[in-house]
Amino acid sequence: MLNTIGVTVRFGKRVLFEDVNIKFAKGNCYGIIGANGAGKSTFLKVLSGELEPSKGEVTLDKGERLSVLKQDHFAYEDFRVLDTVIMGNHELYKIMKDKDELYSKPDFSEEDGMKAAKLEERFAELDGWNAESDAATLLNELGIETSLHDKLMKEIDAKDKVKVLLAQALFGNPDVLLLDEPTNDLDIKTIYWLQEFLINFDNTVLVVSHDRYFLNKVCTHIADVDFGKIKVYPGNYDFWYESSQLALKQMREQNKKKEEKIKELQEFIARFSANASKSKQATSRKKSLEKIELDEIKPSNRKYPYIDFKPDREPGKEILEVKNISKTLNGEKVLDNISFTVKKDDKIAILSDSEIAKTTLFQIIAGELEPDSGEISFGTTISHDYFPKDNNYLFEDDMILVDWLRQYSSDPDETYVRSFLGRMLFSGEEALKNVSVLSGGEKVRCVLSKLMLSGANFLIFDEPTNHLDMESITALNEGMTKFKGNLIFTSHDHQLTQTVANKIIDLNNNKVVIRECEYDQYLEEINK
């Protein structure tokens, strides 16, 4: 079992978290959440031993092994792929190397024989004879072909290096597994495989991720880094989020009787328990939820932006027709004879392995790029606005944030503009920042503000969740879901795509596949 005893981390006068006392039990998966800068990744580094806490200690039961997902994709360039995976069990790998060194000695002595016997004994205890076959099986399941196993890491693609390092972390059934953003740079198929692996994993997992769908699938508990503390709650991310909102609502309704609050809580828990799937994780989660008490739920300290896209007019029957669009960039044909129609109430997710293809299509629809052939025709009632993946060109002018947003507002009054910025978490002096110093996440919130002010009834989003924290992603998800106009978008956020889209357009394999269904249903269809 992994334990923290009075763990405190300070950087100068700033306290990230203090006096953390948690027992991370076997069989549970803990999702570590918190606002940007709260200390999620720092906490994992403390648990792994990479960073010493300012106070307190981390303990691991004797004989147990802890494994960490490495972030440096170029740290093993001169090692064989199979060996890189086996390095996940450091002791086993060292024994293998020590054995090889001993047996290769030309003057093998009696003393060497005794050393070799001890190494062989420990090697067998660690299931060393199956190490290469186990590593190979793991790699194959992650989509790394057998032909690549004996190659050096520097000889394989970057996307495959990500999978090899994941295999390294998972290798050898570690007692405790620490994963920091494990779904980054993984394809959908591999993410699904990892979900199933973790659901059926019998030991302890701690994971930091911005992928809400992933956290909902794998987590039995949520460890929330907030108020300078780390508190563990039963359930997945959605349960934590909705329970914290319930706690906030109940706190505001001070006059509500405790009996009423308890009844409301019981109904809330019953709803989540009823929705549980048949997986082991969900069963464990259900048992934990049934034991929760009123005082265990606390309102969150998080700040959520207010995102609400309100069209100035309702769209008519004719929305958008895309006819035979083709486009070549730098000698490569990225769009080839693309046609589809957007109907009233359509919210369309665009799928493609090619990021360039999706961005090019959006630029053409938005009118920022001309097609080589084909045409775009909007209905007469349609007004559109565009969220670009690369938004830097919108911030090239030297101006403060209030003035930047004012140019997109029908009401130039500073009080109105500043109140709008306040809803997007730019309060007080934050609204007077020069746009040149804004972070990636701040720029995204600014562009979302621009779209809200436009009053457009047709919105185009190219990866709008990039650079956003979980709070902003959740708010954006709700805003896109509630929007009364039409949407066409692409996003790597599974939950956003699943909850917003009612139509899928897949541009892979040089053809257009259109399905009027939710994202998960479409994935089930293509994976049969």
Query: What does each of the 528 residues of the chain score in pLDDT, given as a tens digit?
Result: 899 999 999 988 888 899 999 999 999 999 999 887 788 999 999 999 999 999 999 999 998 999 999 988 889 999 999 999 999 999 999 998 888 788 888 887 878 788 888 888 998 988 889 999 999 999 999 999 999 999 999 999 989 999 999 999 999 999 999 999 999 888 888 999 999 999 999 999 999 998 999 999 999 999 999 878 899 988 889 888 888 888 787 777 776 777 777 777 777 777 776 665 545 666 666 666 666 666 666 777 778 899 999 999 999 999 999 999 999 999 999 999 999 999 999 999 999 989 999 999 999 999 999 999 999 999 999 999 999 999 999 999 889 999 999 999 999 898 999 988 999 999 888 889 999 899 899 999 999 999 999 999 999 999 999 989 889 999 999 999 999 999 999 999 999 999 999 999 999 877 899 999 999 999 988 876
- Does a structural domain hold residue 195? no
Q: E-assigned strands of 267-419?
A: 320-329, 332-342, 347-351, 373-378, 384-387
**Count of structural domains, the chain:** 2
Q: Which of 166, 190, 220 is the last residue of a domain?
A: 166
Length of the chain (residues): 528
- Does a structural domain hold residue 296? no
- Does a structural domain hold residue 36? no
Specify the pairing of strand 221-226 against strand 384-387: unpaired
- Does a structural domain hold residue 336? yes
| 273-277 contacts at long range (C-beta below 8 A, 24 or more positions apart) | none
DSSP 368: S
**Range of the structural domain that residue 368 is part of:** 320-526
- Does a structural domain hold residue 514? yes
- Dihedral sign computed on CA atoms, order 88, 92, 98, 99: negative
Query: Cα separation of 24 and 222, whole Å?
Result: 11
Query: Cα separation of 425 and 472, whole Å?
Result: 10
Q: Return the closest-CA partner of residue 352 out of 495, 492, 214, 192.
A: 492
DSSP 400: B
Q: Which of 166, 196, 215 is the last residue of a domain?
A: 166
Query: Cα separation of 517 and 528, whole Å?
Result: 16
Provide the CATH number for the domain around residue 510: 3.40.50.300
pTM of the model: 0.83
Residue in the structure block whose two tokens are 């003035």: 403
- Does a structural domain hold residue 264? no
- Does a structural domain hold residue 96? yes
* Three-state DSSP class for residue 403: helix
Distances (CA, A) of 247 to 60, 68, 251, 293, 297: 34, 35, 6, 12, 6
Residue in the structure block whose two tokens are 């957007």: 342
Q: Which of 131, 150, 166 is the last residue of a domain?
A: 166
